[in-house]
Structure 1
Amino acid sequence: MKSVALVTGTSTGLGIALSVQLAQQGYEVYATMRNIAKSQALLGAAKKAGVSLNLLELDVQNNETITQSVEHIMAKHGQIDLLINNAGAGCVRTTEHTTEEEVHWVVDVNFHGVVRCTKAVLPYMRRAKQGKIINIGSVGGLVGQPFSDIYCAAKFAVEGYTEALASYITPNFGVQFCCIEPGGIVTEFASNVLTQLQSKGEMPNDEYKPVFDAFLASGAGFERGDLYQTPEQVAQVVVATALKKHLPLRIRTSTWAEQFTTLKTQADIDGLKQLAIVQQTFG
């Protein structure tokens, strides 16, 4: 029997690469997205790779669609072996320039969406005493960066959430958790951030303007070649991790990401040392 994988945010970039590569590894893949009408790129990639995928509508901001998708998979297969919480949204704004609605949206997609999907599959994995939940985080979940205030806050939340779940669910119920931490990904994600930025107009001509201009000029925002990986390269790390018998708590996807976060990670590269201390303290 094939292992069953549920992947969110598969209309573009990393989600497409994840779905295809998991299928190539023999998974029964349920690729989900908010708007099924945007599935052409996914289906085209699957056809090119010679794999078949199952497509479901799932909006990580809508509990009803999440429940329906999970119940559909369980009714058909009786199991979900792997959940990859990949759906995400970027935001490049200062706190002072970010509206309350934007804050809610970024946190809701990047963090609450992870919680909703995890909560939906967890009872089934817990009862099965097995399963893997991989959250696509970011180096921005370990290191705060300019003009990514709210995005980094949401990704920091994903880190804490993943670590807390692993501290008691893994040893007691066998469900494993991991947070994958890419640097930049050459994908529509960055383009969408730029589009969002442009739709809001240029940075207001205030005290932040020269700081923001210097940020863009550095290339750290969107053009650094050593920073960015392709979706396929990141997906290779994610899929290789999913295939491991025992998951690390966290893992970076590139040399740049390792170097960038080294002061946060060098004492505990995969997060398992700290996790062991927590489990010993409260176990």
Structure 2
Amino acid sequence: MKNILITGTSTGVGFEAALLFAEHNYKVYATMRNLKKANTLQEEAKKRNLSIEILRLDVTDNDSILKAIDLIIAQDGKIDILLNNAGAGFAKTLEQTSQEEIDWVTDVNYTGVIRTTKAVLPFMREKKAGHIINVTSIGGLVGQPFNELYCGAKFAVEGFTEALASYISPTFNINFSLVEPGGITTEFMNNAVQKTQNENGELATGEYAPIFHKYLSGAQDRASNEELPMYQTGKQVAEVIFKVAETDTPPLRVRTSVWSENLGNLKTQLDPDGSKLLKQVQSYFL
């Protein structure tokens, strides 16, 4: 039986992925920062008669990462798939962002991926098998207004993953994949906008306010577009992740919707799944 370690499973994509993989007979280690939020997943798993082991893992806390991985290795002796899903949205202008917020966005969305990846690699390398799937965003390919810090972190994950795949995959048979959703209909965007509010609940955008309100209005319009919807459900994104995990030769990158495919098309049309670029990099350097 294959096992999978998933980060950020209290809600959204991680929540749906944990259930989906369990339904397909994976041994699922569903992790979250705050175990007080575990009840919803536990109840849903029980309702569906699924076995899911829930562990505490905070991607900003290396000790919690190592403790969770040590437990999995002690029980199974391996980690087949790592799904780096944990992340947080952030929509705010750079000028109005504190250094504390900059550090937080980077830590949750980028450095956390580094920590978990570094922790599982020795075990995958020993087995010469494994698959690391990093959930980024179309914002990891295309910079977007008021998302410069979030996009910067996701761009970083993309480069990090491409670089690892260039030499670890052919040498140690460890696959790397980037899953790039557009918008997701979870509390993700609401949380991102809340970061922009001041203590009175007002949008703290100052001179940027007219542009920001136009941005929010456009997001609402895109959300209501039935012909080409921007937003997917967490379950829809989880289904794409599952297909990537089940593929014999998984892609380096994949968009999860027509909307995200269209937005990134100018950057991806010559090499949609990243395989050509990967081969080129390997031919240049190895």
Matches for 1:217-232 after TM superposition, within 5 Å = 217-219=217-219, 223-225=223-225, 226-232=229-235
Contact 2:80 2:131 in 1 (8 A): yes
Question: Which amino acid is the alignment partner of residue 125 of structure 1?
Answer: M
Are residues 1:257 and 2:260 paired? yes
SS in 1 for 2:8: coil
Are residues 1:106 and 2:105 paired? yes
Task: Name the residue aligned to 2:144.
Answer: 145
Contact 1:23 1:52 in 2 (8 A): yes
Task: Name the residue aligned to 2:184.
Answer: 185
- Give, in whole Å, the separation in 1 of the partners of 2:150 and 2:135: 13
Contact 1:167 1:278 in 2 (8 A): yes
Rate the CA distance shift 1:193–1:204 in 2: closer, same or farther, 3 A.
closer
Contact 2:196 2:205 in 1 (8 A): no
TM-score (norm 1): 0.96
Contact 1:215 1:221 in 2 (8 A): no
The one-character-per-residue Cα deviations of 1:219-261 (angstroms, maximum 9, x if unpaired) are 2698344100000000000011101111100000011111111
Contact 1:16 1:45 in 2 (8 A): no
Question: Which moved further from structure 2: 205-214 or 22-31?
Answer: 205-214
Question: Which amino acid is the alignment partner of residue 216 of structure 1?
Answer: L
Matches for 1:89-100 after TM superposition, within 5 Å = 89-100=88-99
Question: Which moved further from structure 2: 43-52 or 20-29?
Answer: 43-52
Task: Name the residue aligned to 1:240.
Answer: 243
- Give, in whole Å, the separation in 1 of the partners of 2:35 and 2:205: 40
Contact 2:22 2:50 in 1 (8 A): yes
Equivalences, count: 282
Matches for 1:28-39 after TM superposition, within 5 Å = 28-39=27-38
TM-score (norm 2): 0.95
Q: Which of 254, 261, 281 in structure 2 is aligned with 1:278?
A: 281
Contact 2:90 2:192 in 1 (8 A): yes
Structure 1 runs of 4+ with >2 Å offset: 47-50, 194-207, 219-225
Amino-acid identity (%): 50
Matches for 1:21-100 after TM superposition, within 5 Å = 21-100=20-99
SS in 1 for 2:88: coil
Question: Which moved further from structure 2: 216-225 or 183-192?
Answer: 216-225
- Give, in whole Å, the separation in 1 of the partners of 2:26 and 2:102: 36
Rate the CA distance shift 1:257–1:35 in 2: closer, same or farther, 3 A.
same
Q: Which runs of 5+ in 2 are unaligned?
A: none
- Give, in whole Å, the separation in 1 of the partners of 2:170 and 2:205: 53
Q: Which runs of 5+ in 1 are unaligned?
A: none
- Give, in whole Å, the separation in 2 of the partners of 1:257 and 1:205: 27
- The structural deviation recorded for 1:74 is 0.3
The one-character-per-residue Cα deviations of 1:169-211 (angstroms, maximum 9, x if unpaired) are 0000111000000000111212222333335543346321111
SS in 2 for 1:207: helix
